Every structure is written in C-alpha cells, then in structure tokens.
Amino acid sequence: MYNRVALIGLGLIAGSMSLAMRRAGVAGEITGYARSQATRDTAREIGLVDRVCDTATEAVKDADLIVLAVPVGAMGPVMAEIAPALKPGAVVTDVGSVKKSVLDAVMPHIPEGAHFIGTHPMAGTEHSGPRSGFAELFDNRWCLIVPPEGANEGEVKKLEDFWSALGANIERMDPEHHDIVCAVVSHVPHLIAYTMVGVADDLRRVTDQEVIKFSAAGFRDFTRIAASDPTMWRDVFLTNKEAALEILGRFTEELFALQRAIRTGDGDTLHDYFTRTRAIRRGII
Ligand code: NAD
C-alpha cells in the first residue's frame, strides 16, 4: 500500500503499527527513529522495524508515509525538523491523542506538495516503550481520521484503507469535535484515575500496603489507566486544555450533587443517579 513507511517515535503505538503492518503486508520497508539511544538500541535488538535510523531526517528520506508517534507536545518540533527531508508527495500523519493543537503545530511546516492528515487510533494500554507493542492492538478498535481543511481526498481514502488493513474501524471527525469526545471518553477519566491513586497515597489512616492488598474491591479496575506514561498525559492536558476543563467542570458539578445527596441522606437522588448511569454503562461492551 505504501512503499516506505517511517515511524518517528518507537513506543506502544508505533511498535504496534509496525507489527500490524507486517501482519497485513501493507508496507515495503519500515524505518524508525526515536530520540533516545536506549529506545533505538532496543528497537534494533528486537527487530521492531526493518531499519532503525540515528536521525529523524534519515528515517523519513524517501518515505511515502511518515507517522509521528511521539508525545503530542513534540509533534510541531519534530515536523519542523523533518520537513526539509520529505520527498515530494509524501503523506505525513500523526497518532496523537489531541487533534486541534497538533494540526495547528504541524500545518505551518508542511512543505508544498506534501500532505498532512491527522489520525487517532482509539486503542492503547497502560504500557509504553518499544517492547510494549503488539500486532492486534488496533483490531476492531476505532481509528478517528481528522483531515485538515482542503485535504486531498485520494490520500485521505488511502490512509483510511491503510488503517482498515491494520484492523481498525474508521470514522472521520473534525478536530474540535474529536477533542471534546476524547476529553470525555479518555482524557478526564485518566485524570480522575490518577487523582484517586493520589487520594489513596495521601491518606494516613489507610496504608499503601492495605490499598494494594484490598485493591480488588474496585480500586484496581478503576485505576489501571493511572499506570500510563506521565509525559504523554502531561502533553494531553497542556494541549487539550479547553475541552478537558469543560468536561472537568461538568464532572465536578455531578460530584458535588452526589456529595450533597450523601450528606443530606437523599437516597432517592443516589438511587436514581446510579440507575440511570448503570443503564448507560451496561450499553457499553
Ligand atoms: P510511548 O511513550 O510508548 O512512545 C513514545 C515514543 O516517542 C518513544 O519511543 C520516545 O522515545 C519517542 N519520543 C519522545 N519524544 C520524542 C522526540 N522529541 N523525538 C523523537 N522521538 C521522541 O508513547 P505511545 O503510547 O506510543 O504514544 C505515542 C503517541 O500516541 C502520543 O502522541 C499519544 O498521545 C498517542 N496515543 C497513545 C495511546 C495510548 O494509549 N498509549 C493511544 C492512542 C494514541
């Protein structure tokens, strides 16, 4: 499908893409680059891509598709670095968890004749790094396609076919809508999970050992995602500020309403709330 694919960043998402591309046979040669020497060494050792390069510009040279799979805050600087090395007609995409700020950061650097199309595979685990990827990560998961205004329809369609070949289901979205959807289904839930771990850690009357020992009572399921990479999540909140604050405001309102119901012994409010939200949750497989 693409003769040469370059992966910039060699972590969970890029690694899984490389393995899924090989499984689907949709790429000729796969090159890769990551900023840290240790990551490049590991990627070489485990043969994560066909060729690990020591610079980003070397990795993108002659590539037909370039995937930016670095933390969201690094997308703009990486794009600026590789822009002069892109071949005419190259397609650049990103896999970042935030879309509006990524488009704003990369679009000014896209050279004449090259294309940029944003994507976001809605798939992940709490693990990161070059050893964490697996070929099945995208199977039956959504991949949101976020083309900038005026994008080349043929290239967008080809990139959608590529993600389908990696196992994903496709839906197009505009960047603002993407960011509010992801704030509610992913970003704020991660923040709340991190917070719950912080609350447990801060308590003096419950020890860390007790939290670990009795975590199956809800804590373990609820906070699994709080083991995720801190750099990635710092960048998500710095770049999706508006949408995250909107959802966080709604969350705080609901929490205060429940807090009041508990304080005043308002069982009907609690019961109605749990009944309504349980029905919604049961609709999610
Ligand atoms: P990861 O931490 O596993 O990998 C990130 C990689 O980027 C590492 O190889 C690191 O060395 C490299 N890197 C960091 N800064 C760099 C720079 N300036 N130049 C070059 N390489 C650099 O992270 P990941 O989970 O693969 O996430 C990558 C992107 O995918 C992020 O933008 C994230 O928002 C997005 N994403 C993550 C998930 C998830 O659940 N983990 C899901 C969907 C999308």
Among 143, 119, 167, residue whose Cα is nearest residue 21 = 167
- Evaluate if residue 285 carries a pLDDT over 90: no
ipTM of this complex prediction, to 2 decimal places: 0.98
Residue of 12, 142, 178 with the most ligand 1 atoms within 8 Å of its CB, for mutation: 12
Per-residue pLDDT tens over the stretch 101-121: 999 999 999 999 999 999 999
Among 145, 86, 144, residue whose Cα is nearest residue 115 = 86
Per-residue pLDDT tens over the stretch 179-203: 999 999 999 999 999 999 999 999 8
2-173 topology per CATH: Rossmann fold (3.40.50)
Give one DSSP letter per residue of 184-238, joined into a string. Answer: IIIIHHHHHHHHHHHHHHH-SSS-HHHHHHTGGGTHHHHHGGGGS-HHHHHHHHH
Per-residue pLDDT tens over the stretch 215-242: 999 999 999 999 999 999 999 999 999 9
Q: For residue 262, how far is its CA from the centre of ligand 1 (angstroms)?
A: 41
Among 154, 151, 162, 163, residue whose Cα is nearest residue 122 = 163
Residues of the chain with CATH 1.10.3660.10: 177-282
Determine if ligand 1 sits within 6 Å of the CB of residue 128. Answer: yes
Classify residue 155 by its DSSP letter: H
- Evaluate if residue 261 carries a pLDDT over 90: yes
Among 115, 162, 114, residue whose Cα is nearest residue 138 = 162
Residues of the chain with CATH 3.40.50.720: 2-173
pLDDT given for residue 204 in this prediction: 84
Residue 256 φ then ψ, to 5°: -65, -40
Domain at 177-282, CATH homologous superfamily:
6-phosphogluconate dehydrogenase C-terminal like domain (1.10.3660.10)
Instruction: Name the strand (E) or helix (H) holding 117.
Output: strand 115-121
Asked if 32 and 7 count as a contact pair (C-beta separation under 8 A), the reply is yes
Per-residue pLDDT tens over the stretch 29-52: 999 999 999 999 999 999 999 999
Determine if ligand 1 sits within 6 Å of the CB of residue 64. Answer: no
